[in-house]
Structure 1
């Protein structure tokens, strides 16, 4: 796909399709930690935004309040998260990721990096350069998405 930087030729549909496929591949990479997608999503969210209120976490993860409560109870039992009262409002519960929970995310990220490195061996230098040049723009896109 050739893009003219001076025009609006960028095809968002093509971008979405490629990222959907890449996401599918990344999510399905084998892992030592056998946790559900929802569990991993909650831990990943908390690794970046801990602490969070249960209501915020339910909204972010797009699951019901009873479902997030049940999941957090299980994660707390497994030592991956901890509930604490909000220091500014004792009626509110905040969910914090524990060191063990953060280690799960770090371990999975390390595994993913090792496995993705194998994929990059099949790319040309030009492909690798193009991806490297796109990273700042992709990071900016993530920042925009995190504020919507």
Structure 2
């Protein structure tokens, strides 16, 4: 993925991916999740909002709270970047020997479990 050309910062792309995985979030929650300050995330959200990738909405359960959520353009961006990563890995895997592919296949359950442990669910707050 790091070899692919980027049209936005890694923090912006990671924020979009977080919103895609977890659903709408408060700016303060996004700042914590991405390891940046709240003012920096506010600026980042404003830029992504101006680009049409995210929008701010009112939390239905608490009208005082503003949530950041993906727009269709933001979700499409995440899907496109994710597919680009899949395609890049597929090209690399095509260069492996049969034994190396079998080794990767054997490791998949453990790798999936690691990803599961690392990623919060939509219902679970980030730690």
Question: TM-score of the superposition, structure 2-length normalised?
Answer: 0.87
Provide the C-alpha distance between the structure 1 equivalents of 2:48 and 2:115, rounded to a whole number of angstroms. 27
Q: 1-side partners of 2:83 and 2:4: how far apart?
A: 12
Q: State TM-score, norm by structure 1.
A: 0.76
Please give the residue correspondences for 1:1-148 in structure 2 after superposition, counting only pairs within 5 Å: 26=1, 28-31=2-5, 34-147=7-120
CA RMSD of aligned residues (A): 1.4
Unaligned runs of 5+ in 2: 121-126
For 1:87-113, what per-residue CA distance to the aligned partner results, in whole angstroms no more than 9, with x for missing partners?
A: 111111111111100111111122222
The SS at the match of 2:36 is coil
Q: Distance in 2 between matches of 1:115 and 1:145?
A: 22
For 2:69 and 2:44, locate their aligned partners in 1 and report how far apart those are by CA, in whole Å.
13
8 Å CA contact 1:54, 1:65 repeated in 2? yes
Structure 1 segments unaligned to the other structure (5+ residues): 1-25
Query: Deviations for 1:81-137, whole angstroms, at most 9, x for unmatched residues?
Result: 011111111111111111100111111122222222221122111111121221221
Larger Rg computed on CA atoms: 1
Runs of 4+ in 1 over 3 A off after TM superposition: none
Distance (whole Å) between structure 2 residues aligned to residue 122 and residue 46 of structure 1: 34
SS of residue matched to 2:95: coil
Q: Which has the higher contact order (CA 8 A, sep 6+)?
A: 2
The size of the alignment, in residue pairs, is 121
